[in-house]
């Protein structure tokens, strides 16, 4: 038996997939609106129905994003010298010879991704709710529409990167968001500072 360690708890995993599924549904229906894709509209039962789906899935997305703040925000805003080292070698993604500094539970790239997710996620949510609930004020509507679409660009670019890095680029990583458990030796190599912390406290085995 390979010795395993739990990296993500059940609540985090469920919340991750709620956020992921709502995000993908919103992206697909969002593309449907952006390019007037009739096929996506038909799948939803017409564009008026697609609007209702888009809006209410947006509520799910916002709640899930809000919950995630308690899971990742603190660590994502904590930077040290190793994070600068990580940026210098681009996380080791450009060359396998690069020496990546020791990382904590989440690495520098993940921290930036999460900060972007929070900024653009709340941006797209708040602007979306303004479009939904207060369309009478045309100036606010125009501004919200612009912000909503700028934030959309972040999602359509960064979410595929996140999916790639979490699956193909780092085989084995997907387990963290399925069972939540990874081999201890692997964790020690990838997240040495986290393991040191865990060992120091002598818990979370």
Partner 1 sequence: MALTKMGLLISPEACIGCRGCQAACKSWNILPAEKTVNLGSYENPKDLMPHLYNKIHFVEAPSDKDPVRWLFISQRCMHCEDAGCMKICPSPGALYRTREGAVGIDKDKCIGCKLCAAGCPFNIPRYDEKGKISKCHFCFDRIAHNMTPACAKTCPTEAIKYGPRDELIAFAKKKGYEKVYGQSDLGGLGALYAFKDAPKVYGMNEKPEIPETIVFWHNVLKPLSYIGVGGVVAASLLHYFAIGPHKDKDEEVR
- By CB under 8 A, name the binding residues for partner 1: 2, 31, 33-36, 38, 41, 46-48, 50-51, 92-96, 131, 135-136, 138, 141-143, 145-146, 149-150, 152-153, 156-157, 160-161, 164, 168-172, 183, 185-186, 189
Q: Are 36 and 201 in contact (CB under 8 A)?
A: no
Helix and strand numbers (H, E) in the chain are 8, 2
Instruction: Using the minimum distance from each CB to partner 1, give the nearer residue, 67 or 143.
Output: 143
Strand-pair partners of 182? 5
Helix (H) or strand (E) holding 83: helix 81-88
Min dist. Cβ of residue 7 to partner 1 (A): 15
Min dist. Cβ of residue 118 to partner 1 (A): 20
Min dist. Cβ of residue 127 to partner 1 (A): 12
Q: Are 83 and 76 in contact (CB under 8 A)?
A: no
Instruction: Using the minimum distance from each CB to partner 1, give the nearer residue, 38 or 199.
Output: 38
Instruction: Using the minimum distance from each CB to partner 1, give the nearer residue, 70 or 164.
Output: 164
- Whole-number Å distance between alpha carbons of 125 and 111: 21
Min dist. Cβ of residue 59 to partner 1 (A): 17
- Whole-number Å distance between alpha carbons of 119 and 17: 19
Instruction: Using the minimum distance from each CB to partner 1, give the nearer residue, 53 or 71.
Output: 53
Tokens 């593309």 belong to which residue? 31
């Amino acid at each position: 038996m390979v010795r395993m360690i739990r990296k993500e708890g059940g609540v985090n995993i469920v919340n991750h997939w709620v956020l992921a599924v709502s995000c993908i549904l919103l992206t697909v229906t969002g593309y449907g609106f952006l390019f007037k894709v009739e096929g996506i509209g038909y799948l939803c039962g017409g564009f008026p129905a697609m609007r209702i789906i888009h809006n209410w899935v947006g509520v799910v997305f916002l709640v899930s994003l809000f919950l995630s703040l308690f899971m990742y925000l603190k660590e994502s805003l904590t930077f040290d010298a190793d994070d600068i080292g990580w940026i210098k070698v681009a996380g080791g993604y450009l060359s396998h010879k690069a020496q990546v500094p020791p990382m904590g539970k989440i690495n520098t790239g993940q921290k930036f991704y999460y900060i972007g997710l929070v900024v653009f996620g709340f941006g797209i949510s708040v602007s979306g709710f303004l479009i939904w609930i207060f369309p009478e004020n045309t100036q606010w509507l125009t501004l919200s529409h612009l912000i909503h679409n700028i934030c959309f660009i972040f999602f359509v670019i960064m979410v595929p990167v996140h999916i790639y890095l979490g699956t193909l680029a780092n085989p084995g990583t997907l387990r963290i968001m399925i069972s939540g458990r990874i081999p201890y030796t692997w964790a020690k190599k990838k997240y040495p500072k986290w393991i040191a912390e865990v060992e120091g406290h002598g818990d979370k085995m």
